[in-house]
Structure 1
């Protein structure tokens, strides 16, 4: 029921992501942020209304989530009523070359979004064979928190993208360099802050998802969080670097980082380390994989700044 309902809103999810990028790049970052905030809080409120007062069950939860991008689109359309917008609809011929270039520039972002799905599937299958349902539940806790952490770095990357694109297009190499420096420092700051919170509050976070008080689940989740989230010291910079390279037309480098993060390095690391160290190896695999990708990222960034 949930999947069928959500898929009915798939066009709205796609259009919302496109409009968010257009409005943000067209000097409308505040409106983009407003649309995101209003739609997100609407989702939370409508979840409660549909599931409890209206007793719509799982369909209500899915319907509330599906309405979220619709609300966001309604807000974003206000941008196109103004007189100062640069982007607008017009008749044009379909240019295959231009379409291909657009798709190539966005491919690294596509791979980045797929990375979470690939890692989620791989981790679940391997953990199921090692620790069963309790292990999968522990990873579920970590995956939920990791989604929030990844969103922080993704937001930093999206904020960097239009600024870096403009500087690069205008030939302001120093401006691109400064922006990349700010972005990397911001990523490091967030990585330290997130890891500090995880180390201090890991037991409390685990208990939120462990209403039955299962001791084994708590132990696995706490150990996993403290190991797994160390990988964000590397992952945060890689996510930001991917956006920077894409925004400055270094498509191949951005794509290489995204592919390595999603499967080329991560999947072999999970299989190898899980065999050697069981559950500890599973948590370590994310750190090791992101560390190896980080080395590649540093090489690309050094070459980028020298050019």
Structure 2
């Protein structure tokens, strides 16, 4: 095995995807900054209550995008164009069906969704204004994620990155214009975010206009077997993304009853900072996914393991540097989002940053391992990791903290869940590697 070209591909892919993922995270981070400046702690609380809607929309987009993109990458070198087009077409049809459901929620049930997410009278109007528009523009977010995932698997990670960054830059500019000069408040923040994916899609459309694409949409009858396989390969991404929304909902429920809306605003600061660091891990995972699927299609086990080692080391090195930066710049991070100088918000958020961000090395390992198992078509292992870190461990730990009325317990919930999941993930990795090694030692039958 020649490691140099694999290493070059690794860093080329993860660099483009990390930048792309960071661009997506800017959607919400910039909203948070401008909303904190324009609407104070109540605006921060309203935004944080709205974030799970993004998680659910992105969860479906990534499930079908990563699942479909993975299958496309596995088939690309070994099958006819018709089969790879079928994968794209089936996944896109599913995207349209899911978009219709979110549209119905936005038109008829946005108020009920806002209540369900825990908005009280003080922040209901702001939360509802944001949530309604995000739901109405959900098709754009879904298509944006779907296109980016397929393009990364179609050897166009740089163009996907450029599309995502263009959308994020538009979001920054429009956020400022709508919130301050035009004084549109929460409605303006939502509108800026909703316009951004159209910019991104426009840039990524170059891939199709120029004819670089190795996949296209065909009018076909949906195939349940193909859709089932796509969903199976992308389900870990759905669980990971949606579980993030579930965690925010649970934390909002618990924190509101311990520290009120100020506590939710403080959690909003922490959650939005965490989105940036999570985007780094998501970028590493998105970068290695096409490579691992390609090597799996070629049955190159040594190359897959080498990429896995590179990814785990990269995630660990980043975690050390990132936590050091968070630890020594805590006051500055909180100060950016605490324009009113609220002392209670400052105290809760600074303590939370030190404790909550202990999750980083474990989250990095779990994110990489999920993609590794998916790329080897071991979907059950990938889904188990996603479920453990997203719901199975988080929910009971959060409610223990609630019963103890302990904010420290709340902040340590995620690090504890990620650490326990890492132990399970590494154990699964060792078991599967031992099985593969044992299989390789079996004598080949002597057929005469």
Unaligned stretches of 5+ residues in structure 2: 1-128, 437-448
Determine the structure 1 residue equivalent to 2:155.
Answer: 27
Distance in 2 (CA, whole Å) between partners of 1:215 and 1:59 is 28
How far is the alpha carbon of 1:186 from its aligned partner? Answer: 1.0
How far is the alpha carbon of 1:277 from its aligned partner? Answer: 6.8
Q: Determine which of 334, 347, 354 is the counterpart of 1:226.
A: 354
Distance in 2 (CA, whole Å) between partners of 1:107 and 1:52 is 40
- Two-structure CA RMSD over aligned residues (Å): 1.6
Q: Is the 8 A contact 1:177 1:305 kept in 2?
A: no
Distance in 2 (CA, whole Å) between partners of 1:95 and 1:263 is 31
Determine the structure 2 residue equivalent to 1:275.
Answer: 403
> Is 1:107 equivalent to 2:252 in the alignment?
no
Q: Is the 8 A contact 2:258 2:405 kept in 1?
A: no
Determine the structure 1 residue equivalent to 2:328.
Answer: 200
Residues 254 and 54 (structure 1), Cα distance of their counterparts in 2 relative to 1, 3 Å cut? same
> Is 1:61 equivalent to 2:189 in the alignment?
yes
Q: Is the 8 A contact 1:274 1:280 kept in 2?
A: no
Determine the structure 1 residue equivalent to 2:368.
Answer: 240
Determine the structure 1 residue equivalent to 2:10.
Answer: none
Determine the structure 2 residue equivalent to 1:88.
Answer: 216
Determine the structure 2 residue equivalent to 1:144.
Answer: 272
Unaligned stretches of 5+ residues in structure 1: none
Distance in 1 (CA, whole Å) between partners of 2:282 and 2:262 is 30
Q: Once structures 1 and 2 are overlaid, which stretch shifts more, 14-23 or 79-88?
A: 79-88
Q: Deviations over 1:51-99 (max 9, x none)?
A: 3334444333222211111111111111012344321233444221111
How far is the alpha carbon of 1:36 from its aligned partner? Answer: 0.6
Question: How do 1:122-271 residues align onto structure 2 when only pairs under 5 Å count?
Answer: 122-271=250-399
Distance in 1 (CA, whole Å) between partners of 2:420 and 2:276 is 23
Distance in 2 (CA, whole Å) between partners of 1:284 and 1:60 is 35
Distance in 1 (CA, whole Å) between partners of 2:406 and 2:269 is 18
How far is the alpha carbon of 1:15 from its aligned partner? Answer: 0.7
Distance in 2 (CA, whole Å) between partners of 1:222 and 1:228 is 10
Distance in 2 (CA, whole Å) between partners of 1:49 and 1:135 is 29
How far is the alpha carbon of 1:241 from its aligned partner? Answer: 1.1
SS at match of 2:205: helix
How far is the alpha carbon of 1:274 from its aligned partner? Answer: 4.2
Distance in 1 (CA, whole Å) between partners of 2:385 and 2:161 is 28
Determine the structure 2 residue equivalent to 1:9.
Answer: 137
Q: Deviations over 1:88-134 (max 9, x none)?
A: 23344422111111111111111111111111111111112222233
Q: Is the 8 A contact 1:167 1:175 kept in 2?
A: yes
Q: Deviations over 1:260-280 (max 9, x none)?
A: 111101111112244347111
Determine the structure 2 residue equivalent to 1:119.
Answer: 247
Residues 139 and 59 (structure 1), Cα distance of their counterparts in 2 relative to 1, 3 Å cut? closer
SS at match of 1:53: coil
> Is 1:46 equivalent to 2:171 in the alignment?
no
- Matched pairs, number: 307
Residues 36 and 207 (structure 1), Cα distance of their counterparts in 2 relative to 1, 3 Å cut? same
Distance in 2 (CA, whole Å) between partners of 1:73 and 1:254 is 29
Distance in 1 (CA, whole Å) between partners of 2:185 and 2:355 is 37
